[in-house]
Amino acid sequence: MLSVAEALAQILHEARVAAPVERPLKDSLLHVLAAEVRSDSDSPPFDKALMDGYAVIAADLRPGGTRLEVIEEVTAGVVPQRLVESGKATRIMTGAPLPEGADAVIKVEETEIDGDPREVRILADSALPGQNLIRRGTNKRAGEIVVEAGTLLRAPELAALAEMGCHEVRIFPQPRVAVLATGDELVPIHSQPQPGQIRNSNETMLCAQIRQVGAIPVPLGIARDERSELAARIDAGLAADVLLLSGGVSAGVLDLVPSELQRAGVEQVFHKVNVKPGKPLWFGVLHQDERSKLVFGLPGNPVSSMVCFELFVRPALRRLLGVSSDEPRTLTARLTHSHSHSDDRPTYFPAAIDQTDDGLSVSLMNWHGSSDLQSTVGANGMVAFPPEPVEYAAGDPVSVIRWSSESS
Ligand code: AMP
Ligand code: MG
């Protein structure tokens, strides 16, 4: 049976990014930039006051206070007209350009006006050149890279691009990911299940996971365990870039998914991975045009589906999205409690990972196995246990993987 690493390598081998497109910046959140963007100007574009106060020549200040003639008032958006010479000052507001000649800004709290606003008393004994101002180009010089190609665009990157007037960007289109739940026992989540039935929670879960990666979920509802219905729904799902099925990939008499996928032209790459939960995972490819479509048959048990998504689907979607650097996925954390683990398969155990002063800590959820969604409420990752019996003491280091979150 394939290992997790071998299975992932086979998936990533098939995952290729689509051709980039031009989009308005405002529509490009959680897309990946396809071409680097360079600044069109210096940032800030002029020497700028960082405080409300007075622009002065620092060397003018004397201990015990200094009287200066106020020659002008500049507010943000206004260009100063007058040179600040020795003995003079300009009233200036935050964000306004620094007048020529001045080399420091004294904040208004350190000044006093004695009736006549044309004269200011600076109370500070001294000032340093450059105080309370930022020089043109300190943050970025014209022509420098603002955002590298392959970067996932979040609010900070969008803002930096907006600052540079980049209102159209070249990005990779987000893959559309169809989600098809299979199973005679499933009912929609708004229904009252009859005896033997359960709600289709996997659709909600997988669509949320897809969205968190930055791809577009296309929920297709429930297909019965019946060949013609499954075939029709699979055909509809293959219109998307990626098709995720849940259920029907084990060895039960109604596990029709692998054979129906193959009948639809999807070539099996592998079936079954040495992992717990998630062993029945099926993966195949529909070769079409220059880009193949990826098809995952996820095990129906909710936690198996969830874990398989994190281990296998998420990295594939990130590759399709065009993310260039893959984030470090496996981290080390210390167990908060002792735990005795024994399994002959590598096991991914739902857990709550926390940042502490001493690095990461991890608490195992009270997990009852692959159908136990309840124990995943509040979990933010999983511990990767090796396939051997180990007695862990509290404080022992273990490997952990964080789950998707919007900002990663
Ligand atoms: P299967 O992989 O089809 O054998 O399903 C394994 C288990 O997962 C069964 O107990 C199913 O009832 C359950 N299951 C399958 N699909 C879903 C779904 N969409 N939502 C919640 N549970 C499911
Ligand atoms: Mg089933």
**Where are the CATH 2.40.340.10 domain residues in the chain?**
330-407
**Domain 330-407 bears CATH identifier 2.60.120.380:** no
**Where are the CATH 3.90.105.10 domain residues in the chain?**
28-43+139-172
Q: Are 368 and 326 in contact (CB under 8 A)?
A: no
Mean of per-residue pLDDT scores for the chain: 96
Q: Which ligand has an atom closest to residue 305 CA?
A: 1
- CATH H superfamily, domain 4-18+174-321: MoaB/Mog-like domain (3.40.980.10)
What CA–CA distance (Å, rounded) separates 108 from 89? 12
Mean local confidence (pLDDT), 358-379: 97
**Domain 48-134 bears CATH identifier 3.40.50.800:** no
Task: Tell whether omega for the bond before 280 is within 30 degrees of 0, i.e. cis.
Answer: no
Q: Worst-scoring range by mean pLDDT, 13-22, 325-334, 365-374?
A: 325-334
**Where are the CATH 2.170.190.11 domain residues in the chain?**
48-134
Q: What's the confidence (pLDDT) of residue 406?
A: 54
DSSP states of 351-389: EEEEEETTEEEEEE-----TT--GGGTT--EEEEE-SS-
**Where are the CATH 3.40.980.10 domain residues in the chain?**
4-18+174-321
Q: Is the distance from the beta carbon of residue 202 to the nearest atom of ligand 1 less than 6 Å?
A: yes
Q: What's the confidence (pLDDT) of residue 326?
A: 65
pLDDT-derived band at 37 (thresholds 50, 70, 90) equals very high
Q: What's the confidence (pLDDT) of residue 329?
A: 75
Pairing of strands 53-56, 66-74: unpaired
Ligand 2: distance of its center to the CA of 223 in Å? 10
Residue nearest to atom 23 of ligand 1 (CA): 300
Which ligand 1 atom lies nearest to the CA of residue 185? 12
What CA–CA distance (Å, rounded) separates 47 from 290? 52
What CA–CA distances, in Å, run from 282 to 29, 170, 243, 249, 345? 32, 34, 12, 7, 17
Mean local confidence (pLDDT), 227-249: 97
- Please name which of 313, 219, 299 lies closest in space to residue 257, comparing C-alpha atoms: 299
> What is the per-residue pLDDT across 122-175, written as a single tens digit (0 to 9) for each?
999 999 999 999 999 999 999 999 999 999 999 999 999 999 999 999 999 999
Percent of the chain with pLDDT over 70: 98
Which ligand 1 atom lies nearest to the CA of residue 201? 20
Q: Is the distance from the beta carbon of residue 278 to the nearest atom of ligand 1 less than 6 Å?
A: no
- Pocket perturbation via mutation, ligand 1, pick of 202, 255, 376 by most ligand atoms within 8 A of CB: 202
Largest CA distance in the chain: 94
Candidate CATH numbers 3.90.105.10, 3.40.50.880, 3.40.50.2000, 3.30.2310.20; the one for domain 28-43+139-172: 3.90.105.10
Q: Are 242 and 291 in contact (CB under 8 A)?
A: no
Q: Is the distance from the beta carbon of residue 304 to the nearest atom of ligand 1 less than 6 Å?
A: no
What CA–CA distance (Å, rounded) separates 182 from 282? 14
Q: Worst-scoring range by mean pLDDT, 249-258, 368-377, 385-394, 399-408?
A: 399-408
Mean local confidence (pLDDT), 251-256: 91
- Pocket perturbation via mutation, ligand 1, pick of 180, 182, 186 by most ligand atoms within 8 A of CB: 186
Percent of the chain with pLDDT over 90: 94
